[in-house]
Protein backbone atom coordinates (compact mmCIF):
# COMPACT_ATOMS: atom_id res chain seq x y z
CA UNK A 1 0.00 0.00 0.00
CA UNK A 2 1.80 3.12 -1.27
CA UNK A 3 0.47 6.41 0.13
CA UNK A 4 1.29 9.90 -1.03
CA UNK A 5 2.46 10.77 2.48
CA UNK A 6 4.46 9.49 5.43
CA UNK A 7 4.20 10.05 9.15
CA UNK A 8 7.45 9.49 11.06
CA UNK A 9 7.65 9.46 14.84
CA UNK A 10 10.90 9.32 16.80
CA UNK A 11 11.55 9.14 20.53
CA UNK A 12 14.84 10.54 21.83
CA UNK A 13 14.65 9.24 25.40
CA UNK A 14 18.08 10.63 26.31
CA UNK A 15 17.15 14.21 25.42
CA UNK A 16 13.43 13.73 26.31
CA UNK A 17 12.27 14.87 22.86
CA UNK A 18 9.54 13.48 20.62
CA UNK A 19 9.95 14.23 16.91
CA UNK A 20 7.08 14.13 14.42
CA UNK A 21 7.99 14.47 10.74
CA UNK A 22 5.31 14.74 8.07
CA UNK A 23 6.15 14.11 4.44
CA UNK A 24 3.77 14.66 1.54
CA UNK A 25 0.09 15.52 1.38
CA UNK A 26 -1.23 13.99 4.58
CA UNK A 27 -4.90 14.70 5.32
CA UNK A 28 -5.45 16.50 8.62
CA UNK A 29 -7.67 13.73 10.00
CA UNK A 30 -4.96 11.13 9.33
CA UNK A 31 -2.33 13.38 10.93
CA UNK A 32 -4.33 13.83 14.14
CA UNK A 33 -5.15 10.12 14.33
CA UNK A 34 -1.53 9.05 13.80
CA UNK A 35 -0.19 11.73 16.15
CA UNK A 36 -2.26 10.63 19.11
CA UNK A 37 -1.72 6.94 18.34
CA UNK A 38 2.02 7.69 18.49
CA UNK A 39 1.62 9.59 21.77
CA UNK A 40 -0.21 6.53 23.16
CA UNK A 41 3.01 4.52 22.70
CA UNK A 42 4.94 6.82 25.06
CA UNK A 43 4.67 6.73 28.84
CA UNK A 44 3.68 10.26 29.91
CA UNK A 45 4.30 12.01 26.56
CA UNK A 46 3.48 15.37 28.19
CA UNK A 47 6.84 15.17 30.01
CA UNK A 48 8.74 15.36 26.70
CA UNK A 49 9.56 18.40 24.61
CA UNK A 50 8.40 17.99 21.04
CA UNK A 51 9.42 18.91 17.51
CA UNK A 52 6.91 18.90 14.66
CA UNK A 53 8.73 19.05 11.35
CA UNK A 54 6.49 20.35 8.54
CA UNK A 55 9.27 21.16 6.06
CA UNK A 56 8.20 18.42 3.64
CA UNK A 57 4.48 18.49 4.50
CA UNK A 58 2.28 19.45 1.56
CA UNK A 59 -1.12 19.58 3.22
CA UNK A 60 -3.43 21.85 5.11
CA UNK A 61 -4.14 22.10 8.82
CA UNK A 62 -7.04 24.44 9.49
CA UNK A 63 -7.40 26.47 12.65
CA UNK A 64 -10.11 23.96 13.65
CA UNK A 65 -7.61 21.09 13.22
CA UNK A 66 -5.03 22.92 15.32
CA UNK A 67 -7.65 23.65 17.99
CA UNK A 68 -8.64 19.96 18.01
CA UNK A 69 -4.99 18.99 18.46
CA UNK A 70 -4.83 21.33 21.48
CA UNK A 71 -8.06 19.96 22.96
CA UNK A 72 -6.86 16.38 22.61
CA UNK A 73 -3.48 17.24 24.12
CA UNK A 74 -5.10 18.93 27.12
CA UNK A 75 -7.47 15.98 27.60
CA UNK A 76 -4.46 13.65 27.72
CA UNK A 77 -2.08 15.72 29.89
CA UNK A 78 -2.62 16.18 33.64
CA UNK A 79 -3.64 19.71 34.61
CA UNK A 80 -0.62 20.12 36.89
CA UNK A 81 2.08 18.93 34.47
CA UNK A 82 5.21 20.99 33.89
CA UNK A 83 5.25 23.21 30.80
CA UNK A 84 7.10 21.62 27.88
CA UNK A 85 8.33 23.00 24.57
CA UNK A 86 6.87 22.45 21.12
CA UNK A 87 9.09 23.50 18.21
CA UNK A 88 7.27 23.80 14.89
CA UNK A 89 9.60 23.62 11.89
CA UNK A 90 8.59 24.66 8.40
CA UNK A 91 10.18 26.55 5.56
CA UNK A 92 6.87 28.16 4.57
CA UNK A 93 5.94 29.57 7.97
CA UNK A 94 5.23 33.29 7.95
CA UNK A 95 5.42 33.61 11.74
CA UNK A 96 8.59 35.11 13.18
CA UNK A 97 10.96 32.43 14.42
CA UNK A 98 12.41 32.56 17.86
CA UNK A 99 9.39 34.13 19.61
CA UNK A 100 8.05 31.53 22.04
CA UNK A 101 4.43 31.94 23.09
CA UNK A 102 1.92 30.22 25.33
CA UNK A 103 -1.65 29.75 24.18
CA UNK A 104 -4.22 30.30 26.95
CA UNK A 105 -6.08 27.16 25.79
CA UNK A 106 -2.95 25.00 26.09
CA UNK A 107 -0.95 26.57 28.93
CA UNK A 108 1.30 23.56 29.49
CA UNK A 109 3.23 23.96 26.25
CA UNK A 110 5.50 26.71 25.03
CA UNK A 111 5.48 26.99 21.23
CA UNK A 112 8.13 28.44 18.96
CA UNK A 113 8.38 28.43 15.15
CA UNK A 114 11.57 27.75 13.21
CA UNK A 115 12.65 27.38 9.60
CA UNK A 116 15.82 25.50 10.62
CA UNK A 117 15.50 22.04 12.17
CA UNK A 118 18.79 22.23 14.09
CA UNK A 119 17.84 25.52 15.74
CA UNK A 120 14.48 23.99 16.65
CA UNK A 121 16.19 20.96 18.18
CA UNK A 122 18.62 23.14 20.14
CA UNK A 123 15.69 25.11 21.55
CA UNK A 124 13.65 21.98 22.31
CA UNK A 125 16.44 20.38 24.33
CA UNK A 126 17.49 23.61 26.06
CA UNK A 127 16.97 23.85 29.78
CA UNK A 128 17.17 27.67 29.83
CA UNK A 129 13.89 28.84 31.30
CA UNK A 130 14.96 32.49 31.68
CA UNK A 131 13.72 33.41 28.20
CA UNK A 132 10.34 31.72 28.53
CA UNK A 133 7.46 34.19 28.47
CA UNK A 134 4.26 34.07 30.42
CA UNK A 135 0.97 33.68 28.63
CA UNK A 136 1.24 35.55 25.35
CA UNK A 137 -2.14 35.01 23.75
CA UNK A 138 -2.81 33.08 20.57
CA UNK A 139 -0.01 31.12 18.92
CA UNK A 140 -1.61 28.47 16.79
CA UNK A 141 -2.81 30.35 13.75
CA UNK A 142 -0.14 30.48 11.09
CA UNK A 143 -0.38 31.33 7.42
CA UNK A 144 -3.14 32.65 5.20
CA UNK A 145 -6.73 32.67 6.40
CA UNK A 146 -5.80 31.27 9.79
CA UNK A 147 -4.61 27.95 8.39
CA UNK A 148 -1.26 26.26 8.43
CA UNK A 149 -0.65 25.66 4.78
CA UNK A 150 2.82 24.70 3.67
CA UNK A 151 3.22 24.55 -0.08
CA UNK A 152 6.22 23.73 -2.25
| pLDDT computed for residue 79 by the predictor | 83
Tell me which range, 2-6, 39-43, 148-152, is most confidently predicted by mean pLDDT.
Answer: 39-43
pTM: 0.77
Q: How many domains does the chain have?
A: 1
Flag whether pLDDT at 81 surpasses 80: yes
Question: Which pLDDT tens digit goes with each residue over 11-22?
Answer: 999 999 999 999
| pLDDT computed for residue 139 by the predictor | 35
Domain of residue 25, residue span:
5-149
CATH, residue 118: 3.30.750
| pLDDT computed for residue 109 by the predictor | 62
How many angstroms separate the CA atoms of 109 and 84, rounded?
Answer: 5
Question: Which pLDDT tens digit goes with each residue over 37-50?
Answer: 999 999 999 999 99
Q: Which long-range contacts (CB under 8 A, 24 or more apart) does 115-124 make?
A: 115/89, 115/90, 115/91, 116/89, 117/51, 117/53, 117/55, 117/89, 120/51, 120/53, 120/87, 120/88, 120/89, 121/17, 121/51, 121/87, 123/85, 123/87, 124/17, 124/49, 124/50, 124/51, 124/85, 124/87
Question: Which pLDDT tens digit goes with each residue over 106-145?
Answer: 555 677 888 889 988 998 898 765 445 443 333 333 333 3
| pLDDT computed for residue 29 by the predictor | 93
Amino acid sequence: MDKAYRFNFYIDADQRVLVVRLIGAMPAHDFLTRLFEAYDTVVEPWTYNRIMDFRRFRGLLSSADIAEMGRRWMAMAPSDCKRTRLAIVGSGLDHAAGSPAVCPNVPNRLVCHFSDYHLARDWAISTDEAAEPGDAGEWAVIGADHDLSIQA
